[in-house]
Structure 1
């Protein structure tokens, strides 16, 4: 898809309207007796009907055939896709890290190429998340995917994606992200071997965090989140496979038409893309290393204020200017669990061992921090302003313990069994006064 063919509607959570054929959107009535151009009205609700107005998410879709026109579903096996804490492995409280997993040579699209690394929670209880990799070398042509268990935050690391949704298309490159609402049908086209990360969020929908003392400006701005314009597949009818994730399992059905037949829509439940280059970083210019919460792009709150079900945090290019301070992250033990990935460049706390496409997991109260090399370099560095550039790391942070899957822990896989050795050189340098 060329950039000049793309148009977007800006603003996270805004009410949008878009039509691919003029006159398709009704005026003054959401669902008239007869919709223009012979279309059907369908409501997609992402929240309970009685949710407060500020939290209510829904979109009206005006489509050529409603989504009820689909065949019966049958189970679809997927060896590597896991859901909920019940499918995790019991592991000791050790730090874990994975090298980049190569894209397989065998054909795999976005769905068949999903590999779950760690899980928690329960989608039926609408609590928790899963962290997946996607490894794809083939586009989804006449196959579409819909996740009834949770929304999907897609973080490309290698390869450009064209994501076709019921509401339109998104062109997403590495260093950009895509957010697909729960229950929305989509498919993914790839441009060569592609790899990335996916956060499957079972809890409250991701939203922009409150800014508190930061004030009215900073972090991610709503206007930089782009929703697609209406677009539909105008082609001859033909067999289409619909893959649905429902109750932690995959199911498949076939229908005789494209699910991407929405001619017009309006509402605030939409997919989005976001370029992380637009993130307005906030940092210390006096002393000490600020908490990573100041890099939060999106948050899924839990029932305890301040304790997120999921936070999506990025570590983008930024200036480091604090005085008389150790600048990488401090050694710490956190009540939250931290799953990290590296999209590009080098992560300042792990200059060599952490590679783009890799991942790490530090669960609740598992100690972690700069490796021996990073500590030595930062302890002796001249404290002049410098910029961390050509880098992008991210974190899925959650209040619940993350359990790695059997795939993540398999012998001979990407698991780095010597990861903890990176701290062995931190000697006892204490000297008596």
Structure 2
């Protein structure tokens, strides 16, 4: 096995990155392997094969056109025919098919002693839309404890937004390698081949996945905020070119329209020696998010915490927003500071990476778990959080050591059969709101 990262040799435990969201990058793992004047010369340098990977239609407007040119040891088409992996599909990617108007909350995935890799450890909780509709998102959990070894994965349906909760990840993609720890996120664009492995052997890794079927995630417009605030493009990192030059018996697992298929391949598909483009994997440290909050009174709408947005055809109404609730100062005067009671035209799937969420202080919403408040499903702080926040002395207070997130969509989420399991679904979630006292006089 040979690893090259950047122009100079590095060990495979080291990683270098390029920065800037949406930039057009150029990077090579071997000097003089990237063509300088043409995308597809008659003979590419270093005996490589040119290949374009398109993330949008060829004729998409220039400002939204996404593509990368890859220069690889062998062309991607060099694999045996795909065959359906029905058992693996049935075990992992469940079909969201039940609408449920109730507020729902789930425990973390149960620990397993069985050895399973990233693909085997995926479980679908809820979702909306599909690749056929080119809209919506599926929310998955993952739990795995071994490397993918000779297995590689490619999702033709949507982008994978990885949100680690426990255990650092070694994400190996065609364009390079990323190390991603809890508190960071990583995105692998649709169509890109990759592996997700524990960064340290023997570690159990758990977390969340947002599978986006709609428009690619981008940074939200800042409007009156101005040029700075929220997530800054310079903090998004994409890997430098890296490749594996390995031959043998490997398996490429592809996800097509919700079904998994497997193909035998005689070499590692992570054999891109050089590339340039803007259709790239990236990672981002959520702890660098520049939180905007009130410095006078009232609680701002949660849209102010948006990290990434997948826009829809309706201006200002997202296909999916990815928002976070990070450490922040609370200084609002004469203000109920936790999230307010609310009914929303958007649907909200929430997860907790670490710490305690300030609207759920009575327990139940724990790291690795999740909740769903579907469109116009009433929700808000539990009784314990309401009583504390209503009576606390309103001095400046910092919420620390916490990181929650939300996949918010304009469409209702359907839930899977798996999500209704009695040891997974918390059947008593509504009880956290039943003890409110009548104070009206």
What is the match of residue 152 of structure 2? 144
CA distance, structure 1, for counterparts of residue 159 and residue 391 of structure 2: 44
| Deviation (angstroms), 1:381 | 0.8
Closer, same or farther: CA 119–68 of 1 in aligned 2, 3 Å: same
Cross-structure match for 1:49:
58
Report the Cα distance in structure 2 between the residues aligned to 1:259 and 1:401, rounded to whole angstroms. Answer: 37
> What do the CA deviations read for 1:174-195 (whole angstroms, capped 9, x no partner)?
0000011010000011130110
Q: Using the alignment, how far apart are the partners of 1:356 and 1:3 within structure 2?
A: 30
Q: 2:320 aligns with which of 307, 310, 334?
A: 310
Task: Name the CA shift for 1:214/1:3 in 2 (closer, same or farther; >3 Å).
Answer: farther
Counterpart position of 1:245: 255
Is the 8 Å Cα contact of residues 82 and 119 (structure 1) preserved in structure 2?
no
In the other structure, the counterpart of 2:287 is 277
Q: 1:2 to 1:69 in 2, by over 3 A?
A: closer
Structure 1 residues 365 and 101, CA gap change in structure 2 (3 angstroms) = same
**Contact 1:80–1:116 (8 Å) recurs in 2:** no
Of 14, 23, 35 in structure 2, the residue corresponding to residue 26 of structure 1 is 35
What is the rounded CA distance, in whole Å, between the counterparts of 1:201 and 1:288 in structure 2?
33
CA distance in 2, matches of 1:155, 1:70: 31
> C-alpha offsets along residues 16-68 of structure 1, whole Å, 9 cap, x if unaligned?
11101000001111110001111000000001111111101000000000000
Structure 1 unmatched ranges of 5 or more: none
Alignment partner for residue 102 of structure 1, among 76, 99, 110?
Answer: 110
Superposition map of 1:98-137 within 5 A? 98-137=106-145
Partner of 1:345: 355
Q: Is the 8 A contact 2:28 2:240 kept in 1?
A: yes
CA contact (8 A) 1:80 1:407 kept: no
The CA distance in 2 between the partners of 1:249 and 1:75, in whole Å, is 8
Partner of 1:293: 303
Paired residues for 1:353-432 under 5 Å: 353-411=364-422, 413-431=423-441
- Looking at structure 1, the residues matched to 104 and 51 of structure 2 have their Cα atoms a distance apart, in angstroms, of 45
Deviation at 1:127, TM superposition (A): 1.2
Q: Determine which of 153, 162, 171 is the counterpart of 1:163.
A: 171
Does structure 2 conserve the Cα–Cα contact (< 8 Å) formed by 1:157 and 1:195?
A: yes
Q: Is 1:38 aligned with 2:43? A: no
**Structure 1 residue 93: Cα displacement:** 1.1
Query: C-alpha separation between the residues in 1 aligned to 2:158 and 2:316?
Result: 21
Could you list the per-position Cα deviations for residues 127-168 of structure 1 after superposition, in whole angstroms to 9, with x for gaps in the alignment? 111000011111111111000000010000000000000000
Contact 2:161–2:211, Cα closer than 8 Å, also in 1 = yes
CA-CA distance at 1:287 after TM superposition: 0.5
With over 3 angstroms needed to count, the CA separation of the structure-2 counterparts of 1:72 and 1:219, relative to structure 1, is same
Matched, 1:258 2:268: yes
Distance between the aligned counterparts of 2:297 and 2:394, measured in 1? 11
Q: Deviations over 1:87-129 (max 9, x none)?
A: 3343441100001113321111111110000011121120111
Q: How far off its partner does 1:196 sit?
A: 0.3
> Does residue 1:328 correspond to 2:338, yes or no?
yes
Cα distance between partner residues in 2 of 1:174 and 1:126: 29
Are 2:216 and 1:208 aligned? Answer: no
- Partner Cα distance (2:376, 2:400) in 1: 30
> C-alpha displacement at 1:13, in angstroms?
0.6
Any unmatched runs of 5+ in structure 2? 1-9
SS of alignment partner, residue 248 of structure 2: coil
**Which residue number in structure 1 is paired with residue 81 of structure 2?**
72
Q: Which residue of 1 aligns with 2:16?
A: 7
- The alignment of Structure 1 onto Structure 2 pairs a total of residues equal to 426
Contact 1:103/1:137, CA 8 A, preserved across alignment: no
